[in-house]
Amino acid sequence: MLLIAVTTLEKIQRLPVLFWLKAALVIAVFIAGVILLRKLAGMNKAVLAAILLVVGTALGFSWIYERNEPAWATPVVEKLAWFFPTKNTAQKHIEAYRQ
């Protein structure tokens, strides 16, 4: 059993510092998320819904315009992109106007 503990301790000591920084960052973000969720739980639900609506709408329109959405959102963005302008269509209109 002591041999396993020594081997594990040696493996941990060989991990780069960047790994420990990333691990600490993940833990800090998790704790901050829990604290934020506790604060939001006491917030007026109508205000919270309005904030989430504005943030979600801005994020959605950014994804549609830039076409940099994550893979899971591509089916929805594909259905909306034909109606809303995208960066490529805007550039084409600008170039056509200049000529």
- Tens digit of pLDDT at every position of the chain (99 positions): 555 656 777 888 888 889 889 999 999 999 999 998 888 888 888 988 898 899 999 998 888 888 888 889 889 888 887 888 777 776 666 777 776
The two tokens of residue 35 are 């604290």
Residue 77 CB neighbour total at 10 angstroms: 17
CA atoms within 13 A on the CB side of 18: 0
Per-residue pLDDT, 56: 92
Q: How far apart are the first and last CA of the chain?
A: 78
Where are the domains positioned within the chain?
A: 17-98
* Alpha-carbon span 88 to 94, nearest angstrom: 10
Looking at beta carbons, which pairs linking 65-73 to residues 24 or more positions away fall under 8 Å?
65/90
